[in-house]
Amino acid sequence: MDVSHAIPANTPGEQRPRRGFGVPAGLSRCFETVRQRIDALPYDYPPAVIIGADLALLVITTSAVIQRHSYFPNPLPLIAMAVAFLPIPLFAIFGVHPHPVLLKSSALVSCALFLLQPVNADFAPFVLVIVAGEVAAIASRGMTLGFSALAIAELVAFDLAGHVHWGIPGERLQGLPMYILGILLGTMVGILLQYQRRFLYQERQNQAIRSGQAADDERRRIAREVHDVIAHSLSITLLHLTAARRALQTDDDPTEATEALVEAERLGRQAMADIRRTVGMLDAGPAQTAPEPDAVDIDELVGDFRRAGLAVDYARAGELSRVSGAIGHALYRIGQESLANVTKHAPDTAAVVRLTVTADAATLVVSNPLPTGAAPRRDTGMGVRGMRRRAELLGGTISAGTGDDGWTVRAEFPLDTAGCSTISTMLPSLLRGKPQEDA
């Protein structure tokens, strides 16, 4: 038997049709359109809530239709059921939004058509209960109360006409209060859902505000770090370049000039590495590649300024092991900024640095005499604001200004048990930079 023509071979670029029990393309596109329209609704309720309300309405209307089996083949119950679900095809096929007026009208007409054929223990009035909750969840308070009043008035009118029965025949008022309470309960549930939606919107706005503030705080923190690094590195580099220029002009000694230039190059490379690490904080990486400078690094900091030609009288007392990482980093940055200001405003003077650690506090004092004829410095620079902010975040105090001995910066951080506990609690957020802001 020749089977070579039983299954035609696919030509290049031709796809064989799929086989299986998949969803037809037209029905799939219809489902996708309905889903997009649901996502575009302005009410922002989860689809499960909307589908749950529609399923409850389906159970109620189906029960009401079954209760009226004795009226068949009269089509009125089926018409009433179709009217109750009229907003769904209008939305799915024509894209008509389920406006509260449309929901109210369909529910009132559907319930009226059901009640034209009264039955005992009727489920039809519960259509008004469900739709009352839907309207209250999306409409204004006036429309909500208006629909509840119309629904109650409709039930009272049909009850007076003898079309609302519950329990013992002839006891008309026995079922009416229950239906009215059901409408009020549905209205309250819808109002609660609407309040929950409003609170959700408010929380989203608050979250957006908090995110913006956190981003601004992070940018300010990184700006302070970059400012400190650049100010320190450029100040020392300029001192080395000045020393190299003077060596070439006065002594004509290339050795001293070369040493100064090599030191300036080293500090420049170190500054570039510090800047890369600081800017790298913008990346949400798991960890930093190098630790932040600590109190123990103040010795090396002073050494850099000394090698650059700045006269620094430095002394420290106490155990640095008592200083936490956050306080040590703050002390380092404050000392760095203070010495950079000395090289900027009084490069020919001698600076005095005192670091003292006791059982209660860690204190850093940086002072220098003011140059003759210099204008008084004001406590308005970005560096001074940054130093003050660092101290305030860790519960410390800082003062910067002129005195009898010149310009003095004094920073003090408490090291007691309570303070350490507070700092330990604040340390993760400080390292992330979230609570910080600049003046």
What number of other Cβ atoms are within 10 A of residue 225's Cβ?
20
Question: What would the two tokens of residue 351 be?
Answer: 């600076």
Strand 406-414 versus strand 361-368 pairing type = antiparallel
pLDDT for 141 equals: 87
Domain ranges of the chain: 25-174, 210-283+295-432
DSSP string, 420-437: HHHHHHHHHHHHHTTT--
pLDDT for 348 equals: 79
What number of other Cβ atoms are within 10 A of residue 109's Cβ?
16
What number of other Cβ atoms are within 10 A of residue 118's Cβ?
17
Q: What CA–CA distance (Å, rounded) separates 234 from 237?
A: 5
pLDDT for 162 equals: 83
SS3 of 196, please? helix
User: Quick one: DSSP state of residue 409?
Assistant: E
Q: What CA–CA distance (Å, rounded) separates 352 from 339?
A: 9
- Residues 222, 433 contacting (CB under 8 angstroms): yes
Is the link from the previous residue into 17 a cis peptide, with omega within 30 of 0?
no
pLDDT tens, position by position, 301-359: 888 888 877 888 999 888 888 888 888 888 988 888 888 888 877 877 888 999 999 98
What number of other Cβ atoms are within 10 A of residue 284's Cβ?
5
Question: What would the two tokens of residue 206 be?
Answer: 């608050």
pLDDT at 437 over 60: no
Burial class from Cβ neighbours inside 10 Å (0-12, 13-18, 19+) for residue 323 reads buried
pLDDT for 26 equals: 65
CATH label, 210-283+295-432, candidates 3.40.50.720, 3.40.190.10, 3.30.565.10, 3.10.20.30: 3.30.565.10
pLDDT, greater one: 421 or 315: 315
Whole-angstrom distance between the N-terminal and C-terminal Cα of the chain?
Answer: 92
pLDDT tens, position by position, 168-193: 554 544 678 888 999 999 999 999 98
- Residues 110, 81 contacting (CB under 8 angstroms): yes
Element (H, E) at 362: strand 361-368
Question: What would the two tokens of residue 113 be?
Answer: 């058509």
What number of other Cβ atoms are within 10 A of residue 255's Cβ?
9
Q: Which of 3-7, 228-232, 288-292 is predicted with the least confidence, judged by mean pLDDT?
A: 3-7
pLDDT for 5 equals: 43
SS3 of 315, please? strand
pLDDT for 111 equals: 92
What are the Cα distances from residue 246, in Å, to 224, 240, 243, 254, 257? 33, 10, 5, 11, 8
pLDDT for 150 equals: 93
pLDDT for 210 equals: 87
DSSP string, 42-85: TT---HHHHHHHHHHHHHHHHHHHHHTGGGTT--HHHHHHHHHT
Question: What would the two tokens of residue 340 be?
Answer: 């950079």
Amino acid at 132: A
Q: Which residues pair with 64 in a beta bridge?
A: none
- Residues 401, 365 contacting (CB under 8 angstroms): no
Q: Which of 345, 318, 346, 341 is nearest to 412 (CA)?
A: 318
- Residues 396, 412 contacting (CB under 8 angstroms): yes
Question: What would the two tokens of residue 55 be?
Answer: 């399923």
- Residues 117, 161 contacting (CB under 8 angstroms): no
Which of the four pLDDT bands, split at 50, 70 and 90, describes residue 232?
low
pLDDT at 106 over 60: yes
pLDDT at 414 over 70: yes
pLDDT for 282 equals: 57
Top mean pLDDT of 217-226, 266-275, 394-403 is at: 394-403
pLDDT tens, position by position, 31-90: 677 667 766 666 777 778 888 888 999 999 999 999 999 888 899 999 999 999 888 888
pTM above 0.85, yes or no: no
Q: Which of 28-32, 244-248, 283-287, 312-316 is predicted with the least confidence, judged by mean pLDDT?
A: 283-287
What average pLDDT does the segment 377-387 reach? Answer: 65
Q: What CA–CA distance (Å, rounded) separates 270 from 227?
A: 15
Which of the four pLDDT bands, split at 50, 70 and 90, describes residue 291?
low
